[in-house]
Amino acid sequence: MMKAGYARIDITPEKSMKMAGYDRRSGRSAGVLDPLYVSVVVIGNETPDIAVCSFDLLGVDMEFCSEFRQLVSNSTGIPERHVIVCATHTHSGPSGIYAGRVDYDREYVKRLISKGTTAVKYAVADFSDANISYLPLKIKGIASLRNTGRLHNSESYGMDAGVVLFTREKGPIRICKFTCHPTVLNEQNMLYSRDLPGAAARFMDGGESTVFLNGPCADLSTRFTRRGSNPQELARLGRLWADAVNGLCKDIPGDKSVSVNEHSNNSINVYNSKVYLPGRTGLSSKDRLNWMKELEERIINTPDEEEKREYLSRLAVLERGEYTSCKGREINIDLVDLSCIVLLCLPVELGSETGAEFRLLMENELKRPAFIVCYAGGYEGYIPSGEPLTIESSYEDFASPYSREAKSILLNELDKLLKYVKGKVESV
């Protein structure tokens, strides 16, 4: 019998801090629109074996994850590599959370780690028998391609929003996936907010017992679906998401769910791997200045505000300083096997097409539903599309620290890991 437990704790800063998420935002927070949380679900058979911890932050770096995992393991006995640490990627949370940056706030980070560890302890105390089901879901009208959304019918794009449901006598727990930049609130907003997940939780039945995990959304946002950037619009989109989840979970129709009981091996496992991704080549100072001049001219001459926003975002990357070559990085890959579904957890941002390619590989190899969790185990930037970098490239390719070979290298490493996992499962 599988078991699960849940807890969440408020992590909203008790002081005014700089806000994270937008290059062109300045100033400090001016209050709270809705609280930020760390939400935790622990999962296991006889004892808690996995903790999935989601922080309402822009991201969590590798130093944070390492320290947090160690403290959780020492406090609960859950193995360090079984502690999955994620961020919802809200752009209305505090800055100061990345080690090594000028605004790093060690005091607040220590508070985050302490509160997160306490949340895991509370979730362990809540641990009880549960049936687990996966319910696939796509919701239209929330997300669309943020670079080319106007060229397509943005209202027809289906946001991947599958639900992992733990049914218990003590009350249900949900893991709600979403694939969208939570950026309904723009750079003018100076209030702390979870953004989309917070608004959805407010209208969801049992929203206070829900863990939100963000997926491959590097090129997905509400840019072409929102009708404004304010609390009222946030509530509209949040209710749209919540209504779809409430309807899906109300009766748990058997033809729409995948139950753990459909699999002969109902044990849960975590598999870990590492892969080195080479860094980008960069631009010469001359090319960088020429591209900046071209983008500035387009911004002046473009009447369309959303197209102008895209040019501004590319320009902001080049304005950060010399667009030099970057060193390669070794990143972690965590694969969580929950029997009825497999979660791939990555410390990077994937585009929607890349995410779909990775997911198809997982489902073809393991013959089970899969979803990808980004901003997990660290924050290591965008994985580029694989196309050569030009002035017409997307913001995501501009901002990536990796060479265009990174995508294929990561995909090959995933393929190796999946073959290993498939062999382990088939031998049971």
Residue 109 lies in a domain: yes
Residue 37 lies in a domain: yes
Residue 7 lies in a domain: yes
Question: For the chain, how many structural domains are there in total?
Answer: 1
Residue 282 lies in a domain: no
Q: How far apart are CA 61 and CA 332, in angstroms?
A: 12
pLDDT at 235 over 80: yes
Residue 192 lies in a domain: yes
Average pLDDT, the chain: 92
Q: Exposed (0-12), middle (13-18) or buried (19+): which is 229, by Cβ within 10 Å?
A: middle
Size (the chain), residues: 428
Residues with Cβ within 8 Å of residue 20, at least 6 apart in sequence: 57, 58, 91, 93, 94, 95, 96, 97
Q: How confident is the model at residue 375 (pLDDT cuts 50, 70, 90)?
A: very high
Tokens of 337: 């096997």
In 3D, which of 96, 40, 361 has the Cα closest to residue 212?
40
Residue range of the domain that includes 30 = 3-262
Residue 11 lies in a domain: yes
pLDDT tens by residue, 128-139:
999 999 999 999
Q: How far apart are CA 374 and CA 35, in angstroms?
A: 22
Q: How far apart are CA 51 and CA 6, in angstroms?
A: 10
Residue 217 lies in a domain: yes
Q: How far apart are CA 44 and CA 127, in angstroms?
A: 9
Q: How far apart are CA 177 and CA 186, in angstroms?
A: 22
Regarding pTM above 0.85, the answer is yes
pLDDT at 252 over 90: no
Q: How confident is the model at residue 425 (pLDDT cuts 50, 70, 90)?
A: low
Residue 153 lies in a domain: yes
In 3D, which of 385, 387, 315 has the Cα closest to residue 356?
385
